[in-house]
Structure 1
Amino acid sequence: MIDLLVAGCGPAGAATAIRAALAGLSVVVVEPRSGPIDKACGEGIAHSATSYLTRLGVELTGREFHGIRYLDATHSVDAHFAAGPGLGVRRTTLQTALETRLSDLGVPVKRGRVGPITQTPDSVTAAGVTARYLAAADGLHSPIRRQLGLCGESFGEVRRGLRQHFSVAPWTDLVEVYWSRLGEAYVTPVADDLVGVAILTSERGTFDSHLDAFPQLQRRLQGAEAASAVLGAGPLRQRVRARTAGRVLLVGDAAGYVDALTGEGIAVALRTSAELVDCIRADRPQDYETAWRRVSWECRLLTASLLWARNRPLLAPRIVPAAAALPGVYRTIVNRLS
């Protein structure tokens, strides 16, 4: 019997497995997809997250960015990072780096689906593997979370994301966030000749039709060739009743998700994955819920508060003007998140 079975080899699952292996635990990862896994995401990794991955021995390549710029039709405000730069990294590049580190550590990645889960007081079995614990890192719409009855009630506005890359030299060393009535468009430099554009909205439509709501960005991208297919993700909001069920612990997007509005999904996943490993090393899975809430509360609160304002017709148009009028407050919030 191994110590830990990890379901999912995305950033949350791979980081959990790497940290567990470095802690001396025996680990197996189960992942149904082969090759570098792509996903519709903003691809900006905060400085704290890149530092943590470096400590895990994950070698990242990408393009540095030094802050966040909010823009609407008439306002613009910048907040530069105090702790150090973030890194724009193609999701496939990040995935390759994580899988390379898993291979270096000798962590097996078994291709297949988890399927039914059975538990005893001392073990959990899934995908033909018996372990002391199972870390469920199987994504936003986690089948494991559903199987264990941990899904919370869904209500409120449904937001989704679309992402595409464009072959163009980045025009700034910041991540730009364009605001409009439709939603938000994030531009992340990921290479010297490539930017990723992610659009978050509750409205239906194609990537191109959504882009019409951001004329400033359209002008920036004029003449640039699309460098990837459009990928989508959503609904983004995922409510979860609990992070544990017996010897199964949820991590990453599977553990619950507010929105991509603040772009902190990977950073939170890494922080909570470290807590998960600490809890199973201590053989105290019951401590994980409290630990998860402790290390994620600030990001969840700030994201939920910003989303609440975004969903109020009277407040939404005032978000960027307020940030421009109070640049010190805006800079403080950005640096708390980064």
Structure 2
Amino acid sequence: MSADVIVIGGGPVGLATALYAVCSGLSPVVLEPRAGTIDKACGEGLMPGGLQALTDLGVDPPGHDLRGIRYVARGRCAQADFTAGLGRGVRRTTLHDALSAAVRAAGIEVLPFGAAEVTQDDDLVTVRTEESGNAGPTLVAPWVVAADGLHSPTRRALGLDRDHTVGRAVEARPLRRYGLRQHHRIRPWGDHVEVHWGTHGEAYVTPVADDLVGVAVLSRQRNPLSDSLAEFPQLRERLEGAPVVTSVRGAGPLRQRTTHRVAGRVLLAGDASGYVDALTGEGISLGLAHARAAVLAISADDPQSYERSWRAATRRYSLLTHTLVQVTRPSWTRRLLVPAAATLPPVFRGAVNELARPGR
């Protein structure tokens, strides 16, 4: 089987890549071994830039309007509204269904196989597929975009994972953080993503429907979600009596580093291309920017231009997120963050809207 581009991974970034490919006159095929709607741990908040990117693709998932970000800690609050328009809280499953419908409408084939082996020469990439350990069809294309997630097998197979040793020098040990998420049947009490700051982590509350909120906890501690929520008494009081309607999903460790985003004719996009942290909630928006940039590079027959575009799209996210993660490692600085944001609203508003603007 042949195509212009093979997309490995049928999550939101992979499906968006396929849609961008069709818009550019390319013929894509998507490999995704998981059947049906795919769910995963996710903050589920779309920044205005990410929502605009979906609109440009003709995708308009239902959800709950978001006007900005609110930080909460120990009775203090700092709030910043988006200046580039509304964001939207959208269930991960709802987003996947909307993108899947657009892919079907575009006539894009999604094959129920995983990528078992990726090899390439100067002109073509060959992908050997499998399903439950059994051999599937072999696909050939001039290009491959791997959007196969945080722990990308394709990235690992291509040797693009970066460990924490550079020559003989050992980098500072990274902070390992993990995420947990579930949903409560309750009417949202606001139209902002609410971030509760605790000693060891943060709790994110995202309205995703008129009667549903998603609650995600990011922490350096690998505790059950119910134990982690004990750190946020104000939030626990809000949720008291609200039915839990989804099972807990987890992800991590969140930090994943790559040496390069391009290996010959294979490009990495989304979480597969590297990940700092989920702290700023920009994952989907950033992944959509990667998908667009990868297809533009393929259309121009200039894969190395993707490295430059990837860095440009990722720079502000990486800088702000890495800085915030490092600054809040000590517990005493975590205690000062929300009071500082409340005291300096222009700075907080500027940081939020730097992340919220479209990634081009």
For the criterion TM > 0.5, the same-fold answer is yes
| d(CA) in 2 for partners of 1:83, 1:293 | 22
SS, match of residue 25 in structure 2: coil
Partner of 1:30: 31
| d(CA) in 1 for partners of 2:222, 2:104 | 41
Aligned pair partner of 2:148 in 126, 138, 158: 138
Q: Which amino acid aligns with 1:132?
A: P
Alignment pair present for 1:198 and 2:202: no
Percent identity between matched residues is 50
| d(CA) in 2 for partners of 1:305, 1:149 | 27
| d(CA) in 1 for partners of 2:32, 2:6 | 11
Per-residue CA distance 1:47-83 (angstroms, 9 max, x = gap):
1111111110112111101011000013101111111
Deviation at 1:233, TM superposition (A): 0.3
Partner of 2:109: 108
Deviation at 1:312, TM superposition (A): 2.6
Partner of 2:134: none
Alignment pair present for 1:262 and 2:272: no
Partner of 2:72: 71
Equivalent residues in 2 for 1:1-338 (5 A)?
1-126=2-127, 127=129, 128-154=138-164, 155-338=173-356
Per-residue CA distance 1:18-48 (angstroms, 9 max, x = gap):
0001111010000011111001010000111
SS, match of residue 117 in structure 2: coil
* Bigger mean CA offset, 88-97 vs 309-318: 309-318
Partner of 2:169: none
Is contact 2:192–2:206 with CA below 8 Å preserved after alignment? Answer: yes
Is contact 2:205–2:215 with CA below 8 Å preserved after alignment? Answer: yes
| d(CA) in 2 for partners of 1:313, 1:166 | 29
SS, match of residue 117 in structure 1: strand
Q: Which amino acid aligns with 2:235?
A: L
Is contact 2:197–2:334 with CA below 8 Å preserved after alignment? Answer: no
SS, match of residue 115 in structure 1: strand
Per-residue CA distance 1:261-320 (angstroms, 9 max, x = gap):
000011111112111001000111121111100111011100111011111333221111
Gaps of 5+ in 2: 130-137, 165-172
Deviation at 1:109, TM superposition (A): 0.2
SS, match of residue 21 in structure 2: helix
Q: Which amino acid aligns with 2:111?
A: K
Flag as ranges the 4+ runs of structure 1 deviating above 6 A.
none
Is contact 2:162–2:259 with CA below 8 Å preserved after alignment? Answer: yes
| d(CA) in 2 for partners of 1:130, 1:144 | 16
Is contact 2:200–2:331 with CA below 8 Å preserved after alignment? Answer: no
TM-score (norm 1): 0.99
SS, match of residue 116 in structure 1: strand
SS, match of residue 39 in structure 2: coil
Is contact 2:161–2:258 with CA below 8 Å preserved after alignment? Answer: yes
| d(CA) in 2 for partners of 1:213, 1:312 | 16
| d(CA) in 1 for partners of 2:330, 2:159 | 32
How many residues are matched?
338
SS, match of residue 114 in structure 1: strand
Per-residue CA distance 1:121-166 (angstroms, 9 max, x = gap):
1010112110110000000000000000000114422100000100
Q: Which amino acid aligns with 1:192?
A: D
* Bigger mean CA offset, 310-319 vs 221-230: 310-319
| d(CA) in 2 for partners of 1:290, 1:174 | 33
| d(CA) in 1 for partners of 2:346, 2:122 | 52
| d(CA) in 2 for partners of 1:65, 1:198 | 16
Per-residue CA distance 1:222-272 (angstroms, 9 max, x = gap):
100001000000000001110011111000000000000000011111112
| d(CA) in 1 for partners of 2:306, 2:20 | 16
Q: Which amino acid aligns with 2:151?
A: H
| d(CA) in 2 for partners of 1:277, 1:289 | 12
Gaps of 5+ in 1: none
| d(CA) in 2 for partners of 1:269, 1:65 | 20
Q: Which amino acid aligns with 1:131?
A: A
